[in-house]
Structure 1
Amino acid sequence: MPAITSKGDGLPARDIVTAEWEIEAVLAWHDDNARAAIGTLLDDICHLRQQLALAEGAMSTGMTRGWRPSYDRD
């Protein structure tokens, strides 16, 4: 099993083997139709952004000690 390394921010980097397996699984789910797979993933991103916005609205600043969610990768 490959070692999981850190990206320097304290979070583990994605395992390359796992990422490749996930890509193959997504394509297989969509019968190797890349456009359908991308469409589904974009729908998932939209849904998750909406969920993040709802969670942000429900959180108090004190609860998160001033932390605010980021909608984009840094």
Structure 2
Amino acid sequence: MCADLAEAVNEPIAIDPVDEVLSYHAGDIRAAILTLLKDCVHLREQLALMEASMSRGMTRGWRPAFERP
């Protein structure tokens, strides 16, 4: 009994990220998409700030890409 409980506690619980987002928004798909789009805008702004503030030598020539290759 205790061994089964210990195994159950140590096993990672597989959580679907899509289900997690929908659960956070109480099943409202439009609200979930809006939040994800706002997150994308925020991260792009942060990436632009980082690109403007760092030198090319600091990253040995690497530049961030805003679009997926």
Q: Which TM-score band applies after superposition, normalised by the shorter structure?
A: 0.7 to 0.9
- Count how many residue pairs are aligned between Structure 1 and Structure 2: 56
Q: What is the RMSD of the two structures over their aligned residues, measured on CA atoms?
A: 1.2
How far, CA to CA, are the matches of 1:49 and 1:29 in structure 2?
23
* Rounded Cα–Cα distance in structure 2 between residues aligned with 1:35 and 1:48: 20
Q: Take 1:29 and 1:73, find their aligned partners in 2: how far apart are those partners?
A: 27
TM-score by length of 2: 0.76
Q: Could you tell me how far 1:44 is from its partner in structure 2?
A: 0.2
Q: How far off its partner does 1:72 sit?
A: 1.0
- Bigger share in helix: 2
1:38 aligned residue (12, 33, 37)? 33
Identical amino acids, percent of aligned pairs: 54
Does residue 72 of the first structure (1) align with residue 58 of the second (2)? no
- Which whole-Å CA distance do the structure 1 matches of 2:46 and 2:37 have between them? 14
Q: What is the Cα deviation at residue 29 of structure 1?
A: 0.4
Unaligned runs of 5+ in 1: 1-17
Cα deviations across residues 21-72 of structure 1 (Å, max 9, x unaligned)?
A: 1100000000111100000000000000000000001110100111100011
1:26 alignment counterpart: 21
Uncovered stretches (5+) of structure 2, i.e. residues with no partner: 1-13
Partner of 1:59: 54
Cα distance in 2 for partners of 1:29, 1:66 equals: 40
Q: Which has the higher contact order (CA 8 A, sep 6+)?
A: 2
